[in-house]
Amino acid sequence: MSILIKNGTLLCPQGPVQADLRVEGEKIAAIGPALPEADCQVTDAAGKLVFPGFIDTHTHFEMNKGKPNETADNWATGTLAALAGGTTTVLDFAEPERGCSLESALETWHSRADGNASCHYGFHMTIKDWNPQIKAELKEMTAAGVTSYKVYLAYDNLKVSDGVAYEVIQAVGEEGGIVGCHCENGDLVTAGIAARKAAGDFSPAAHPLSRPDGVEAEAIHRWLCIAEQAGFPVNVVHISTRRGMEAVESARRRGQKVYAESCPQYFLLDDSLYSLPDFEGAKFVLSPPLRKKGDQDFLWEALSKGEVDTIGTDHCSFNFKGVKELGREDFSQIPNGIPGTEHRPVLMYTAGVAAGKITAHQMMKALAENPARLFGMYPQKGALVVGSDADITIIDPHDGGVLTAAAQHQNVDYTPYEGMEMKCRVDTVLLSGEPAVSRGQVVKTKQGRYVHRGPSRFWR
Ligand code: DUC
Ligand code: ZN
Ligand code: ZN
Examine residue 451 and state whether it is found in any structural domain, yes or no: no
Handedness of CA 169, 172, 176, 180 (dihedral sign): negative
Q: How far is the C-alpha of 368 from the C-alpha of 124, rounded, in Å?
A: 17
CATH number at residue 331: 3.20.20.140
436 with 370, same domain? no
Among 210, 238, 290, residue to substitute to test ligand 1 (most atoms within 8 Å of Cβ) = 238
C-beta of residue 216 within 8 angstroms of C-beta of residue 184: yes
- The ligand whose atoms approach the alpha carbon of 312 most closely is 3
147 with 31, same domain? no
323 with 361, same domain? yes
12 with 88, same domain? no
Examine residue 364 and state whether it is found in any structural domain, yes or no: yes
CB 316 near ligand 1, within 6 Å: yes
Return the exposure string of 74-112: e unless at least 16 CB atoms fall within 10 Å of the residue's CB, then b.
bbbbbbbbbbbbbbbbbbbbbbbeeeebbeebbebbeeb
Q: What is the pLDDT along the chain (460 residues), one digit of tens a residue?
A: 799 999 999 999 999 999 999 999 999 999 999 999 999 999 999 999 999 999 999 999 999 999 999 999 999 999 999 999 999 999 999 999 999 999 999 999 999 999 999 999 999 999 999 999 999 999 999 999 999 999 999 999 999 999 999 999 999 999 999 999 999 999 999 999 999 999 999 999 999 999 999 999 999 999 999 999 999 999 999 999 999 999 999 999 999 999 999 999 999 999 999 999 999 999 999 999 999 999 999 999 999 999 999 999 999 999 999 999 999 999 999 999 999 999 999 999 999 999 999 999 999 999 999 999 999 999 999 999 999 999 999 999 999 999 999 999 999 999 999 999 999 999 999 999 999 999 999 999 999 999 999 999 999 9
CB 60 near ligand 1, within 6 Å: yes
11 with 65, same domain? no
Number of domains into which the chain is organized: 2
CA dihedral 362, 366, 369, 374 (to 10 degrees): 140
Backbone angles phi, psi at 47, to 5 degrees: 80, 0
DSSP per residue over 314-345, as a string? -B----TTTTGGGGSS-GGGSPP-B--TTTHH
C-beta of residue 8 within 8 angstroms of C-beta of residue 49: yes
80 with 204, same domain? yes
Distances from the Cα of 51 to the Cα of 88, 266, 354, 388, 429, angstroms = 11, 23, 16, 13, 10
Q: Which domain holds residue 234?
A: 53-374
19 with 97, same domain? no
C-beta of residue 49 within 8 angstroms of C-beta of residue 19: no
43 with 59, same domain? no
283 with 417, same domain? no
| pTM of structure | 0.98
9 with 61, same domain? no
Last residue of a domain, one of 374, 393, 409: 374
Q: For atom 1 of ligand 1, which residue has the closest CA?
A: 287
231 with 123, same domain? yes
81 with 141, same domain? yes
